Amino acid sequence: MIKKDTNTMVNLDVKGYLAKLIATENIIIQHNKVQTASFDVKNRVLTLPIFKEQKGDVYDMLIAHECAHALWTPYKKWEEIASDKELRAYVNVLEDTRIDKLIQKKYPGVVKNYQNGFDILDKKNFFGLVGKDVNKDLMLIDKINIRSKSLNRIPFIFAPDDKKWLAKVDAIKTFKDVVDLAKEMLDWQKDQVEQMKKLPDFDDHIIAKNYDLTDDEESDDDTESNAVQESDENSDSDDEKNDFNNFGDQKADDEKSSNQDGDSQQGEKSKEKGKEEASHYGPGAGGDFSEGKLLKAVTQDAFDDKHKQLLDDTIKGYVYGEMPKPNYKDGLITYQTFLKTFEKEKLDARIHYDVAKYDKWLQDAYKKFTRENKKTVSYLVKEFEMKKAATAYKRASTDKTGIIDPLKLPRYKHSDDIFKRLTIIPDGKNHGMMMLLDWSGSMSDCLKSTVNQLINLVEFVRRVNIPFEVYFFTSERKYFSDETGYDKSFIYKDGDWLFENFSLVNVASHKMTKRQLDLSMMYMFHMGDYYDSNYGRSYKDYDFDKPNGYGIPSRFSLGNTPLNESLIYLTDLLPKFKKKYGIEKMTLITLTDGGANGMRGAIKGAEDKPDWDKKKVFIMPNGKKLVKDSYGSGLTELILEYIGKQFDTNVIGFYILKRVRKWDLERYAEADDWAGREKEYLKMRKQMTRDKAVVVNKQGYNKYFLLDGKKMKVENFNLEEAKVKKGTTGELKRIFAGAMKNRLTSRVVLNKFIQEVA
């Protein structure tokens, strides 16, 4: 049995729903191997780290915090100050205090998460407070940071002047208030440092050491080393995203110096560069602060260093991409174009072949085939209608009408059931069918029998008046584009997975006239016979009386297997079809003999970053994330699962086995022990022999049938040609019954379809 893929994303999606609820909008939630949570306020993408535990107060606190940024932090305003390193640090702290108050007021339930989350992290020294006197060892900005994150539960002692600043912090309403106060506080703090520098023991002062404000060379080297380390850690960050735990540090990546080779001369150049850049930071830049000594919030820096302990380093990360939109203009070939293409092929072939003579042979062969199948299809149509009627009668209900039945009046003394009754038989459900046929090179030796199965199915759904569409998919059109060079099967935007160009060819539809449908099926019959003559027919079975005619249009040649590409088209075509015709019971059939093509392994806009070692996340149109370890692996089943659940569709798969080997059946066994698997295999082998098909479990399908490719020939029966050993009635009955059974079972695709929809 093919089991569903289960991984971390299942739990992460639950948290994603929580984030959307808190943010009160359909923001995009992504989980990845990032250092801290961040929110891209421009594109509305919330990126959360992958933690070792995807639950608990710390995780919920981070989600609430980042959703608060999604709601209230303006992207454009942040961009205006993102390049100022000092101001950014102060804005980060003050903006956190503002939005945390707002989210706690809007959702009081998260207050407990904030309290417990801070206590958990503080006990693990995530804010670097162990060994520190919070009243003496921290600048005001860090006191404000801890005061806010602890929900005012740390016993700070604030001086009268500090309380004035706290009042200003508590009065913040808008992001503009945050920036204005950050500038004011930064200027004030620089003045305070300038005053401290006049002290004789400034280099030994605890504040100077905690904030790297001393002038000794050792401290400079340490600062420079830390800058290099930070630059390395953030070199892969996306410039479009703002990290709100270290607010916007990605924007400063280009400003950080690099000294990876350890060369001392390069180190001096980096220091000089740092001095030049520092002169541009903040309204208070100048004086001694042009020496490269930048003010910061050390409690936030400590958190950034320690939070790595929470991250799950066993997961290499995810690559997110969406499904592209179908380009029907270049990717979908209508049945009108299909018929016209064959007419052109016939015209071109008249130069070398007697097309009229071949057409006569083809028409006779096709009419003979349909005539031989007519009685069997008619029998199956009648059986289908009887099953529908029986099912409807079974669901019938009988109710009293309220009208007295005169025939029951004599019983009024003994029974109160004297009213007429009405039997209500509900209408049958409106069926609909779509089918995808594999048109790949590996189908060549069984294409004739497959097409014959298809013709029977099409005739059946036409007779019972079921809306239907039949497509085959081929990769070959990209080599034979009409005018524009390579055809483009999809309309891509940045962030879409890239797929192969292909064609989805509509060869049968309930919208076609009877003449068009017969002509299209005759061309399909021709193509099946063409490939059978070249690949599937032995010399002794070859029809030497068949005249030479036309071949196959180049754009309909056999190629590889763009099944996934076709299914992406159906995610749009199928719901439109279902809605247009009021389909209540929709059935999708796939008929293949192999797996789908792999993907290109790239995303539009980032083709040079394949990230082979990361898990691939396919974001479906409903926002559901489908995770796989490799490009294309299992994508077929995942898209089918989406189609089945999203559009209430019964998905049936037929898989043609060229040779029925033990492994082909045994791999679908569900038992864990050898004896159990062997028992299941023998049961499947017996069913395959009896019914020419066996049903197995496979992800994405409601029913998945394995077919014996060597026994797919559609059989008919002529009693006049039957060999009868005994001329008795019993013998004739036995022969007729066996022949009738073979006629039904040989139409395996049609037979199984009827069983599923009747």
Do 216 and 337 share a structural domain? no
More confidently predicted of 26 and 370: 370
pLDDT of residue 394: 57
Dist. CA 743–CA 11, nearest whole Å: 51
What are 645-676's pLDDT values in tens digits? 999 999 998 888 877 888 888 888 888 888 98
Q: Answer yes or no: is 678 within a domain.
A: yes
Do 303 and 333 share a structural domain? no
Crossing angle, helix 57-72 and helix 9-23, to 10 degrees?
A: 40
What are 139-195's pLDDT values in tens digits? 999 999 999 999 999 989 999 989 999 999 999 999 999 999 999 999 999 999 999
Do 309 and 335 share a structural domain? no
716: which residues sit within 8 A by CB, 6+ positions away?
Answer: 372, 373, 376, 743
Contacts 24+ apart (CB under 8 A), 657-660: 657/593, 657/706, 657/707, 657/708, 657/709, 658/442, 658/445, 658/446, 658/593, 658/709, 658/710, 659/709, 659/710, 660/685, 660/688, 660/706, 660/708, 660/710
- Given 288, 315, 342, the domain boundary residue is 315
More confidently predicted of 204 and 745: 204
Q: Answer yes or no: is 298 within a domain.
A: yes
Do 348 and 239 share a structural domain? no
Dist. CA 87–CA 296, nearest whole Å: 9
Sign of CA dihedral 221, 226, 229, 234: negative
pLDDT of residue 619: 83
Do 331 and 289 share a structural domain? no
Dist. CA 685–CA 690, nearest whole Å: 9
Q: What percent of the chain has pLDDT over 70?
A: 69
Give yes or no for a contact between 271 and 256, defined as CB atoms under 8 angstroms apart. no
User: pTM of the full predicted structure?
Assistant: 0.69
Q: Answer yes or no: is 404 within a domain.
A: no
Q: What is the dihedral of CA 542, 544, 546, 550, to 10 degrees?
A: 80
Query: How many independent structural domains does the chain possess?
Result: 2
Q: How confident is the model at residue 477 (pLDDT cuts 50, 70, 90)?
A: low
When pLDDT is averaged across residues 214-243 and rounded to a whole number, the result is 45
Q: Answer yes or no: is 615 within a domain.
A: yes
pLDDT above 80: residue 510: yes
Do 333 and 262 share a structural domain? no
Q: Answer yes or no: is 444 within a domain.
A: yes
Q: Answer yes or no: is 53 within a domain.
A: yes
CATH number of domain containing 533: 3.40.50.410
Do 532 and 469 share a structural domain? yes
pLDDT of residue 287: 34
Residue that the structure tokens 């390069």 belong to: 266
- Given 315, 343, 377, the domain boundary residue is 315
Backbone angles phi, psi at 609, to 5 degrees: -130, 75
What are 273-303's pLDDT values in tens digits? 333 332 222 233 333 443 457 899 999 889 8
Do 333 and 294 share a structural domain? no
Q: Answer yes or no: is 636 within a domain.
A: yes
Using CB atoms within 10 Å of the CB of residue 133, give its burial: 0 to 12 exposed, 13 to 18 middle, 19+ buried: exposed
pLDDT of residue 252: 34
Query: Rounded to whole angstroms, what are the CA distances from 698 to 150, 589, 597, 640, 672?
Result: 52, 14, 18, 11, 17
Query: Rounded to whole angstroms, what are the CA distances from 182 to 85, 168, 191?
Result: 12, 11, 14
Containing structural domain, residue 24: 9-315
pLDDT of residue 242: 42
Do 727 and 653 share a structural domain? yes
Q: Answer yes or no: is 556 within a domain.
A: yes
Dist. CA 20–CA 687, nearest whole Å: 49
Backbone angles phi, psi at 741, to 5 degrees: -65, -45
Backbone angles phi, psi at 48, to 5 degrees: -115, 145
pLDDT above 70: residue 340: yes
Do 343 and 275 share a structural domain? no
Do 342 and 235 share a structural domain? no
Do 342 and 264 share a structural domain? no
- Given 253, 286, 315, the domain boundary residue is 315
Q: Out of 21-30, 119-128, 259-268, which region has the weakest mean confidence (pLDDT)?
A: 259-268
What are 570-598's pLDDT values in tens digits? 999 999 999 999 998 899 999 888 888 87
